Structure 1
Amino acid sequence: MLLLPRGGEANLDAGQLLTLTILTRVASALSALGVLTIITTFCLSRHFRNPMHRLIVINAFYNALDVTCTMISTGGPQAGNTSALCQFQGFLNQMFPIADVLWTMAMAVNVYLIVYRSYDVESLRRLEWKYIVGITVATFIPAFVLLFIKTEENGPMYGSVTMWCAIAPKWVLFRIILYYVPIWTCIIITIVLYLLVGIEIANRRRIMQSISSNANHQATASLSANETIERNSYGSTTKPTVDAIQEFDPTSTTDSPRPPTRSNTGSDEPFSSKYYSSHHPTSSSAASRVIPSNPSSLSFRQYILMPLFFFIALLLVWVAPSTNRVASFIEPGFSSFPLLLTVGVTGSLRGFWNGIVFVVVGMRSWKRRKQSDELALRPVTRE
């Protein structure tokens, strides 16, 4: 355990400080690579251009400024609390990590609106400028105002916290109120939204299974009647020819063949109930009341799984910093170098994890879409 001097910073030796600087800058470089990957992939591939991808790309520009902050690393504290570099780093540190959390919450809001309000592509796109304005204003104004707060007793609001400049230890209560409370409030709201989405999807799966079971029962009864009529008419037991119709499961993640549900807009058309209505006319009115939208497997991954993985990555990033802040608030003399390293590295990897999720989940969706398209183009063989 390390002791904190009166200023509230960890008392690191030269070797520990160098290790901290190197690791945070390496992690920042990886984040920069993740940001570039997101932007480049979005520009070069049409597959990565649905409304959820667009939010991720917009957030990537915010991540780029966050990377600028973490790349400065210990350079801010070494320049001194009153230096322009430290104050600039403190401003970036206050604004852009919170913006990252808000963008992740915006993705969860989109998922909620898709599942509960049946928002289409255009409706989601109309929300983008509102997200941009709202998130920018909500994060910029507090971060900018704090630049001008300074007292003789506590010094400037932004100051050294060992690994970079942020709200100084002497202003720790304000750091909790203005930094950690907004972050964890957004995280809790996001958790609630995903829980509601999960409950709704589970309910829809049960409804779809029930409707499918009823449809299969009616089809079996109809086939039996047809066989009886044919047997009575022709004295034979020839098996009638039937087109197999299988409704897809909106939460399925299997590779089983599914009927095509995309329009010419490609992956930008996340949900459609036309297929269900056209193939189940007797049950369409009931289904429309309880299933306002019907995602395909591809859309489920792009519009729900990707934001969910973004949130999980975000949650992992904030565990160590929050643990460190709570521990130091409860026991002002507490500091752990391994925990400090963890905070520095995880806090510098936000853009990297975003890039990983964007590419890995997006590529899996692209492969499944390609397989689905190939299946849809195959000629149907009849017995």
Structure 2
Amino acid sequence: MLHIRGEAALDEGQLQTLTIVTRVASTLSALGVLTIIGTYCLSKHFRNPMHRLIVINAFYNALDVTCTMISTSGPKAGNASALCQFQGFLNQMFPIADVLWTLAMAVNVHLIVHRSYDVESLRRLEWKYMLGITTATFIPALVLLFIHTEENGPMYGSVALWCAIAPKWVLFRIILYYVPIWSSILITIALYLFVGIEIAKRRRILRSISSHVNFSTLDETIPPAAAIAHDSCGNSTTPEYDNPHSGTDDPQSPSGAAKYYPPSTTRTLIIPSNPSSLSFRQYILMPLFFFLALLLVWVAPSTNRVASFIDPSFSSYPLMLVVGVTGSLRGFWNGIVFVVVGMRSWKRRRESDEMALRPVTRG
């Protein structure tokens, strides 16, 4: 027996398989969400501003998991049912919110690299991100609940895997769903390109400075370098040093000149950094991996939607399975990136701090 679900004709076996894979993937996403929240609460090393954005997004992911866990039960209940309409609302709001939170992380990276934002400056932006993203996603999703015509039926309806903007409203689905998503993705790509160019420039400058450091005297000034000390929450700090230039506001120069005084030929070399300097791996690498995971999630559903828009008769069950799995794994990939990259960042930061304090012997 065939069940018509939106654009696709599915038999009982296919429908059952779709239900299983989406719910298994949703369970993994739920575990990813719990991992993010639990790690943040239990570990003091996962509490910088970028981590907080990820944790806030985890609560949005939790509602996204609710949507994908409903799975094919929404379409099965019928387009006019409360379950289908509720699932459609969730499907419209929270996947877009996930993309916008990834964009917010990219904006933070841009502000760190190009505007020298410090921890407090980033923290003050959080409520603005929450207000802006919630407003931009909640209001359209809510309005679409009340759109219904005799010809096309309700705006939210079956799209095979779950309920979302219905096939008869496909142009609205492209404009109100895929356009915001891919516009945000393109802006994020542009921001990371600008950041990459700036980092490459700074590395060339740093290599040039490092090649001219003079260690011939016992009492000397060390130019800025990449070594950064951190407090217990992962925020950057600077070691104690003489500060003859206090008050400087140049983000590219240290606020003071470091002095070190060795008792003999063995010296402890501590290289200060700008107090607003932030860990590269925590503040840049982690958001970048989140973005790469996001791209993997959206390739399959976007391909399916473009193909079905060009050819309304297009239907691919294997592609539908891929869409179901990737669309249900958003929270899972976020959890993996948060823990794996975060732990590697913490480990490397600890090694860097130990290296900065290691005695350097001069012959």
TM-score normalised over the length of structure 2 = 0.86
TM-fit CA distance, 1:207:
1.4
In structure 1, the partner of 2:342 is 362
Q: Distance in 1 between matches of 2:237 and 2:132?
A: 25
1:195 aligned onto 2:193: yes
Q: Give the SS at the match of 1:29.
A: helix
In structure 1, the partner of 2:328 is 348
Q: Distance in 2 between matches of 1:77 and 1:242?
A: 75
Q: Distance in 2 between matches of 1:197 and 1:210?
A: 20
Q: Distance in 2 between matches of 1:328 and 1:293?
A: 53
Identity among equivalent pairs (%): 75
In structure 1, the partner of 2:319 is 339
Return closer, same or farther for 1:140/1:85 CA change in 2, 3 Å cut-off: same
Q: Distance in 2 between matches of 1:382 and 1:75?
A: 72
Q: Distance in 2 between matches of 1:105 and 1:203?
A: 23
Contact 1:94–1:143 under 8 Å retained in 2: yes
Q: Distance in 2 between matches of 1:15 and 1:121?
A: 53
In structure 2, the partner of 1:310 is 290
In structure 2, the partner of 1:84 is 82
1:74 aligned onto 2:72: yes
1:268 aligned onto 2:218: no
TM-fit CA distance, 1:191:
0.3
Contact 1:121–1:270 under 8 Å retained in 2: no
For residues 155-234 of structure 1, the aligned pairs below 5 Å read 155-213=153-211, 215-216=212-213, 219=214, 223=216
Give RMSD over aligned pairs.
Answer: 2.6
In structure 2, the partner of 1:27 is 25
Contact 1:4–1:333 under 8 Å retained in 2: no
Q: Distance in 1 between matches of 2:104 and 2:118?
A: 16
1:323 aligned onto 2:321: no
TM-fit CA distance, 1:241:
6.6
In structure 2, the partner of 1:47 is 45
In structure 2, the partner of 1:100 is 98
Return closer, same or farther for 1:327/1:270 CA change in 2, 3 Å cut-off: farther
Supply the AA of the counterpart residue of 1:74: T
Unaligned ranges ≥5, structure 1: 224-239, 250-258, 281-290
Q: Distance in 1 between matches of 2:289 and 2:162?
A: 28
Return closer, same or farther for 1:149/1:266 CA change in 2, 3 Å cut-off: closer
Return closer, same or farther for 1:292/1:176 CA change in 2, 3 Å cut-off: farther
TM-fit CA distance, 1:264:
4.2
Supply the AA of the counterpart residue of 1:120: D
Q: Distance in 2 between matches of 1:13 and 1:4?
A: 6
Supply the AA of the counterpart residue of 2:106: A
Contact 2:119–2:235 under 8 Å retained in 1: yes
Q: Give the SS at the match of 2:123.
A: helix
Q: Distance in 1 between matches of 2:36 and 2:324?
A: 23
Q: Structure 1 or 2: larger helix share?
A: 1
Deviation string 1:316-352 (CA, Å, 9 cap, x unpaired) is 1000000000000000000100100000100000000
Supply the AA of the counterpart residue of 1:140: F
Deviation string 1:253-280 (CA, Å, 9 cap, x unpaired) is xxxxxx4x32546522289867585259
Q: Give the SS at the match of 1:46.
A: coil
Q: Distance in 1 between matches of 2:229 and 2:320?
A: 49
Q: Give the SS at the match of 1:11.
A: strand
Contact 1:34–1:356 under 8 Å retained in 2: yes
Q: Give the SS at the match of 1:159.
A: strand
Q: Distance in 1 between matches of 2:303 and 2:355?
A: 50
Q: Structure 1 or 2: larger strand share?
A: 2
In structure 2, the partner of 1:278 is 257
Contact 2:26–2:328 under 8 Å retained in 1: yes
Contact 1:112–1:194 under 8 Å retained in 2: yes
TM-fit CA distance, 1:293:
8.2
Supply the AA of the counterpart residue of 1:262: A
Contact 1:270–1:303 under 8 Å retained in 2: no
Aligned length: 337
1:109 aligned onto 2:101: no
Which one of the candidate residues 139, 144, 147 is aligned to 2:142? 144
Q: Give the SS at the match of 2:164.
A: strand
Contact 2:301–2:323 under 8 Å retained in 1: yes
